[in-house]
Amino acid sequence: MTDNLTILAPAKVNLYLHVAAVKPDGYHPLDSLVAFADVGDRVTVSRAPSFDFTVEGPFGGSVGNDADNLVVKVLLALAAHLGQDDLPLSVVLDKRLPIAAGLGGGSADAGAVLRGANLLLDLGLSDDVLEKIARAAGADGPMCYRARPALVSGVGEVLEAADDLPPLHAVLLNPGLPSPTGAVYKAYDTTGQGDADRPAPPADWSVSSVIDWLGHQRNDLEAPALSVTPAIQEALDAMAAVPTCRLTRMSGSGATVFGLFDSAEVALDAALSLDRTGWWVRPTVLGTPKLI
């Protein structure tokens, strides 16, 4: 019987993001292809007499450890599902992803802690049950618990496995500025135009064909995000200027942008060339990362 587990909370990347006008209930229909990086936060769960939650890491100072944190929200939901007030867990969140970065960090943390609690406490809950509990983290909760490539529709709650997606070599770049999701959607509602259309699949699922196909898609939140955080444009331009970069796009509501490359070696060289003071830059592989 192990006393602790450390789980990767992988960054979520929207390879494309098509967004429609807001509905009367305040939600936006969307269609997206998401993949998960082999970089992210780390969540360590340990057996303890009662619940305890600590946040550390390079971006930990910007994260609260109260009931508003998505880790706490999903653990309260898990405890309620079990008919308990809390759980005998000590949780340490090592926050390595930038905040408000369009990478689903908080939802990824929530998914990781659910996975860790289920294993450590021998709860025996199925993935279907845990995905439902993950909804306490919001629309991204179930997909970030699953942490596998998926086609996403509805308002983020409809997930279809995208197992044909090949691993994609990439570089993630955040210009050191947050891009608050609420403000971006507000700007989209004022000026944005888009539709939650599902594109026909690529001719084949080779890396080259997938990158070419993605080039015909879009992120409908990019222009609104640029109106809120204009400095994202500098990151987009810098990535696009790398000669070996096959595709440049913003992820989610920003401010992180990604570039796709033909190999790990080329991506690493690109990451080194993009490194500058105040920027967060990581080479990565997008797909289905190992979580434990």
Residue type, 78: L
Annotated catalytic residue within 38, 94, 140, 220: 140
Bridge partners for 44 per DSSP: 6, 92
Place of tokens 């990019």: 222
User: How many Å separate Cα 284 from the centre of its chain?
Assistant: 13
User: How many Å separate Cα 130 from the centre of its chain?
Assistant: 18
Picking from 135, 171, 167, the residue whose alpha carbon sits closest to that of residue 148 is 167
Give the integer Cα–Cα distance in Å for 11 and 106: 10
Q: Is the dihedral of CA 181, 183, 185, 188 positive or negative?
A: negative
Structural element, H or E, at residue 108 = helix 105-120
Active site residue 73: no
Active site residue 140: yes
CB 147 within 8 A of CB 107: no
Give the integer Cα–Cα distance in Å for 99 and 96: 9
Q: Structure tokens of 212?
A: 């070419």
Annotated catalytic residue within 3, 12, 68, 269: 12
**DSSP three-state, residue 75:** helix
User: How many Å separate Cα 127 from the centre of its chain?
Assistant: 19
Residues serving a catalytic function are 12, 140
